[in-house]
Structure 1
Amino acid sequence: MTVPTRLMTNGKIWCGLKEGFAEAIAIDGDKVLATGTAAEMAALAGPETEIIDLEGKLATPGLNDAHMHLHHYGRSLVELDLRPAAGVTSVQAIVDLVKEAVANAEPGQWILGRGYDHDKLAELEHPTKWDLDTVSPDNPVFLTRTCGHTTVGNSLALKAGGIGRDTPDPFGGKIRRRNGEPDGILFENARDAVRAVMPPITESQLVAAIERGGKKLLTFGITSIMEAAIGIGEGEVELDAYLTAHEQNRIPLRVAGTLMGDLERNIVDYAHSKGLVTGVGDDIFRIGPVKFFTDGSAGAGTAWFSIPYENDETNFGVRCLTQEQTDELTLKAHRLGYQIAPHAIGDAAISMVLNAYEKAYAEMPDPDRRHRIEHCGWHVPEDLARLKAMKVIPAGQPSFLYFFGEGYYTILGSERPQHCYPFKTWFEEGLHPSASTDCPVTSPDPMPCLYAMVARKSDTGKPLGLAQALSVAEALHLYTYEAAYGVHDEERKGRLIPGQLADIAVFDTDFFAVEPEAFLSAKCLMTVLGGEVVYRARDRLPRHTRNSPKRAP
């Protein structure tokens, strides 16, 4: 019998939805060897087996954020933090942070920030270019709303992008105006003109961001992610950065990389020329799906709906592609052998993607391609049957319910928020829904996600379809097994069973024994990646020892 290299014992170890609980887990190298009672696993240990006493704590498979932006998160850690959680609750607070940044910057240096939510600002309004101009007359400022689909620039930033009074709205974008004058708020593709003239990010900076962000994710018990948009900002250099980071062993966790395949932001041909198609790679960096955008975000009022927003009867959102363009992008990626994962939040956008999938599968059937829809926030009831027929995976974000639920009531009324992100229906219909944060759109902290899946309430207590609540085990299943299934990795990870990767998270809270509100203050104590401890919370750690015949199991 193989002697384990490491034994984690005396805990409550959740091994998977069907597998249930164990008291101990034996690890051989980077794989799970066995699970069972503390006595059973102790009998396997040898003199050199390292033993970790979990002291009754809950352990789960390592969490897998099925849709987030690692290199953007890493970059955001060194930009202005405009999140409500950071205390930014007014336009003036944003202005004050910009003023401080300007004081420490060289003239002409760009001031970047991310995370503000106008629905949570005292003014219930975006900052404008005039607010920013008062403190930054000599530095371009470009600040991104939490959703990532809206930005505000000061006058210098707009001028650099050639945006003025006579600039028309581009297709798939909108320039907000006051009395005909752009006020600095740019929606969707309208941002591209400014982003095109910003200083480019170098490959080495991107590698550092990947490493920085990945190390931070390990502190949350996250051992795997799907990077949701390689090539969205800097194009091909972003893919090169991931390849370089991998070569240099600077990717701290497991990444399935999504390639941008949009009209303008498209690296599919570049990746394909290198032989990088879905599934190519190893257990640290593997190529995942191809992505393109069909609409915006609900919080920004740019998700594309078939009926108007409650707070503006003229607004149906922003359509970023035509049906013909969606068909063309879908067919190209499908023919090249890629899994596809378009962004679609509103029901009109979702229907358009499903139309394209029907055409692709009619031309080239492939029952296990596992095409996805990223977000899939609101779909009409009749599209559920189409999702099932084509086995399309809805990759929703529970954290949106928590952080943005209040705002949904404001812009969509009281009824539509009850039908968003129907995880229970998706799960019961066998659609393999996954859990994710879309970080840095929201915090990568998995606790608001778990809370939202189980409680179905926003951070202000607003109910969001209570009938869609999941059990704790189901919620963890979406955060582990289903996230792995979504990128064809369920045979390698997502459960703690013999032969799978020994990726494990240990928490200070037993989610199965407390009310959902207690999830929100829960912390990760230890993270294990491939059998190695890669994160330990200071002063709150399970104890390590070497095995001893005298040691009690």
Structure 2
Amino acid sequence: MLVDVILRDARVVTGAGPGTDSPAEVDRMAVLNGRVVAIGDDAAGLTAREVVSLGGRTVLPGFNDAHAHSVWYGMTLIEADLSAVRSLDDVYRVVRSRAADTDPGEWVIASGFNPVLIGGAVPDADALDEASDGRPVWIKHASGHSCQLSGLGMQRAGVGAHLDREIDGGRIVVDETGRATGVLEERAMKLIQDLLLPSSIDTIARALDLATAQYAREGLTSVTDAGVAGGWIGHAPGELAGYQAAREAGTLRTRMQVMPVIDVLQSLGGHDDEPERQGLSGGLRTGWGDDALQLGPVKVFTDGSILGRTAQVTEHYDACPGQHGYLQEDPEVMRARVLAAYAAGWSVALHAVGDAALDLALDIIEEARRRDGARSVPNRVEHGIVVRPDQIDRMARLDVACVMQSSFISTFGEGIRAAVGPERTEWAQPARSVLESGMPLALSSDRPVTAGAPLRGIQSFVERLTEAGREYGHRQRITVQEALAAATVGSAQVTGQRDKGRLVPGQLADVVVLREHPVDVDVSEIHAIPVDATMVGGRFTHRSPEV
């Protein structure tokens, strides 16, 4: 039998569980037509068009990020980078440098700004005007839930005309004198987005090219893009066309599951005796597509962020009596929209950072399941930052996946602790509790909100150390093996994609080749293991010269 590729002289970790017919580790693997056809001794007698000897390297199922923002991340690779700033002076320096390469009157756009890294300070609007030499400035915060404009930027966006108007699900931040600071929270960001968006399809395709090239270098073979085509998180109404353009150009290097935001759905009509249904034109819904590009659940924002104190929590924020955050929409309006999407066949993914918002999200999902049944692609709640123990049990009963980001711990852990206090920090990113409940555990990053390299996320799941090196919910630690399973088969399960995540016959041949096995290095060094190759469907998307 002639196959396409044989990987040999390797430590192939199949991901096969107890009670299966496949061994946990073998020394070789054969690929034909994009899928694994034989492993171990069964592959020994085969010939191949290409044989790759890996010199004892570790072969794992390709990593799968179950919640990222690929176009947004790709755009950060085009825009001025503020991710490394450690002072306001650093911010002004980056703006000044980018302004020098920007035509007069054009916007200076910067991204990746994390106020937590500079003690919560935000740039001064007038100082931004000076640094940009009269060019308007738009700074995107790393959380995605707020942004900052310069004085001229506020003028261009018409912020002043909205100071006396209530913004549903958002806020224009003002100082003690009532003057706008330039910070726009949540849906207030629409003021600037309406001015500068949509992005062109070519720009979106370029962003995906840049993003997925980096994904491949990190061993990622599948990514779920959690919100496109509308709302404050989308880049263009035709954003899905950007994905298709990148795929046709051969620059979409990872398999993509794409979540449209609920804002882009429209009434589908139907018979008088049918419930209200909302979907994409023609009735497209979750599951449409193939194993390279597929529609996932519809994305719904219920609340905001912990760091911005806009996530809705039951008990007030620590040291902030009376402050509980807020929902992004009237709860009854939100409920009706989600039920209408579910009735049209969509699975749902509800961003619910605070426990009060999570209660609402689970109420809505429970009602949807009661009316219209379960879904083959699991319903989800995103982030898992404040999750009460009773909510873990409820999610398990409803088969709702809790998709959390371990990298939040190492990036924002101290900021989260300061916001919610020590008791609720013990509930945050409850990986161990999710596994003990019997639910699948996925790895995700929310990139570019945090660094997205999966090996770093695996390390963070195991260590649970904050950016200050302090323990963070240590009872929720998991093992290296459990974290690897989360990054592979666990993410496949929560995305409803059951033909990936293991390296056994019949599964997609998505592979990451590591210089060392993560169980063989000190936990603190997992992030530094070199990724020597990545394959999607048996084709290399990244290959070091040594392989």
TM tier relative to shorter chain: over 0.9
One-letter amino acid of the counterpart of residue 34, structure 1: A
Q: In the alignment, is residue 404 of structure 1 matched against residue 406 of structure 2?
A: no
Aligned-partner Cα distance in 2 for 1:91–1:289: 39
Instruction: Determine the C-alpha separation between the residues in 2 that align with 1:17 and 1:148.
Output: 38
Q: Tell me what 2:510 maps to.
A: 503
How far 1:267 sits from its partner (Å)? 6.8
| Contact in 2 for aligned 1:137/1:156 (Cα 8 Å) | no
Mapped to 2, the partners of 1:268 and 1:57 lie a distance apart of: 53
Structure 1 position 415, deviation (Å)? 2.6
Distance change (3 Å), C-alpha of 1:43 and 1:381: closer
Candidates 109, 113, 122, aligned match of 2:110: 113
* Residue of structure 2 in register with 1:531 after alignment: 538
Specify the code of the residue in structure 1 equivalent to 2:511: I
Which deviates the most, 295-304 or 271-280?
271-280
Q: Judge conservation of contact 1:259–1:268 (CA < 8 Å) in 2.
A: no
> Residue 224 of structure 2 contacts residue 259 of structure 2 at CA under 8 Å; is this kept in 1?
yes
Query: In the alignment, is the contact (CA less than 8 A) between 2:279 and 2:341 conserved in 1?
Result: no
Moved more, 249-258 or 91-100: 249-258
Amino acid at match of 1:231: A
Q: Which amino acid aligns with 1:246?
A: R
Q: Given the alignment of the two structures, is residue 157 of structure 1 paired with residue 148 of structure 2, yes or no?
A: no
2:179 matched to 1:181?
Answer: yes
Tell me which residue corresponds to 2:128.
132
The residue that corresponds to 1:327 in the other structure is 335
Alignment counterpart, residue 487 of structure 1, candidates 495, 500, 513: 495
- Structure 1 223/507 Cα, relative in aligned 2: closer, same or farther at 3 Å? same
**Alignment RMSD, CA only?**
1.9
Supply the AA of the counterpart residue of 1:4: V
Secondary structure of the residue aligned to 2:64 is: strand
Q: Give the Cα separation in 2 of the matches to 1:268 and 1:499.
A: 39
Which string of whole-angstrom CA distances, capped at 9 and with x for unpartnered residues, describes residues 322-374 of structure 1?
Answer: 22022112101110001100111110111111111122122222264521111
Q: Deviation of residue 199 (structure 1)?
A: 4.9
Q: Equivalent residues in 2 for 1:73-84 (5 A)?
A: 73-84=73-84
* Contact 2:129–2:135 (8 Å) recurs in 1: no
Conserved 8 A contact 1:260-1:268: no
Q: 1:191-210 CA deviation, whole Å, 9 max, x = no partner? A: 11121111531111111211
8 Å Cα contact 1:401-1:458 kept in structure 2: yes
Give the match for residue 164 of structure 2: 167
Residue type at the aligned position of 1:74: G
Matching residue of 2:11: 12
Q: 1:521: which partner in 2? A: 528
Assess, with a 3 A threshold, how the Cα gap between structure 1 residues 170 and 101 changes in structure 2: closer, same or farther: same
How many residues are treated as equivalent by the alignment?
Answer: 528
Please show how residues 304-343 of structure 1 align to structure 2 within 5 Å. Answer: 304-343=312-351
Aligned equivalents of 1:329, 1:381: Cα separation in 2: 28
Residues in 1 aligned to 2:377 and 2:458: alpha-carbon distance in whole angstroms = 28
SS in 2 for 1:16: coil
Distance apart, 1:220 and its partner CA: 0.4
Q: Is the 8 A contact 2:406 2:445 kept in 1?
A: yes
Task: Point out where structure 2 has 5 or more consecutive residues left out of the alignment.
Answer: 18-22, 269-277
Cα distance change of structure 1 residues 479 and 227 upon mapping to structure 2, 3 Å threshold: same
In the alignment, is the contact (CA less than 8 A) between 2:217 and 2:531 conserved in 1?
yes
For the structure 1 residues 115 and 336, does the alpha-carbon distance in structure 2 shift closer, same or farther, using more than 3 Å as the test?
Answer: same
Partner of 1:458: 466
Q: How does 1:86-101 map to 2 (within 5 A)?
A: 88-101=85-98
Superposed, 1:227-242 pairs within 5 Å as: 227-232=225-230, 233-242=234-243
Describe the SS at the equivalent of 1:191: helix
Matching residue within 204, 207, 210 for 2:208: 210
Q: Which residue of 2 aligns with 1:372?
A: 380
Q: Could you say if the C-alpha distance between residues 184 and 61 of structure 1 is closer, same or farther in structure 2, counting changes exceeding 3 Å?
A: same
Q: Deviations over 1:157-178 (max 9, x none)?
A: 2122221283334121122211
Structure 1 spans left out of the alignment, 5+ residues? 543-553
Contact 2:286 2:377 in 1 (8 A): no
Indicate conservation of the 8 Å contact 1:342/1:374, yes or no.
yes
Asked if structure 1 preserves the Cα contact closer than 8 Å seen for 2:99 and 2:133, the reply is no
**CA distances 1:41-91 after superposition (whole Å, capped 9, x unpaired):** 563232x4422222222211000110011111111111111113xxx1111
Letter in 1 for 2:458: L
Contact 1:229/1:258 (8 A) holds in 2: yes
**What secondary structure sits across from 1:250 in the alignment?**
coil
Q: Check conservation: 1:149, 1:296, Cα contact below 8 A.
A: yes
Moved more, 296-305 or 394-403: 296-305
Q: Which amino acid in the other structure matches residue 524 of structure 1?
A: V
Are 2:387 and 2:430, in contact at CA under 8 Å, matched by a contact in 1?
Answer: no
1:292-441 superposed matches below 5 A? 292-366=300-374, 368=376, 370-441=378-449
How many Å apart are 1:308 and its aligned residue?
1.6
Q: Is the 8 A contact 1:509 1:519 kept in 2?
A: no
Residues 502 and 531 of structure 1 are in contact (CA less than 8 Å); yes or no, is this contact kept in structure 2? yes
Q: Distance in 2 between matches of 1:67 and 1:181?
A: 37
CA deviation digits over 1:368-423, x for unaligned, max 9?
45211111321222222321221001111111111111212222223322210101
Pick closer, same or farther for the CA change 1:268–1:295 going to 2, 3 Å: farther
Distance of 1:501 and 1:411 partners within structure 2: 42
Q: Please give the alpha-carbon distance, in whole angstroms, between the structure 1 residues aligned to 2:142 and 2:327.
A: 20
Shift of residue 238 of structure 1?
0.7
- Partner amino acid, structure 2, of 1:57: R
Mean CA deviation greater in 321-330 or 280-289: 321-330
TM-score, normalisation: structure 1? 0.91
Structure-1 residue corresponding to 2:20: none
The separation in 2 between residues aligned to 1:405 and 1:460, in whole angstroms, is 8
Percent identity between the two aligned chains: 29
Q: Distance in 2 between the 1:358 and 1:275 partners?
A: 23
CA distance in 1, matches of 2:133, 2:312: 36
The residue number in structure 2 matching 1:103 is 100
Deviation (angstroms), 1:520 = 2.4
Distance 2:186 2:266 in 1: 19
CA contact (8 A) 1:64 1:223 kept: yes
Deviation at 1:271, TM superposition (A): 6.2
- Do the aligned residues in 2 keep the contact of 1:10 with 1:23 (CA within 8 Å)? yes
How far has the Cα of 1:104 moved from its partner?
1.2
Distance 1:137 1:172 in 2: 33
- Structure 1 position 137, deviation (Å): 4.8
How far apart are residue 185 of structure 1 and its match? 1.3
Per the TM alignment, residue 188 of structure 1 is displaced from its structure 2 partner at its CA by 0.7
Counterpart of 2:30 (choices 23, 26, 31) is 26
Aligned to 1:545: none
Contact 1:231 1:239 in 2 (8 A): yes
1:145 & 1:3 partners in 2: Cα distance?
52
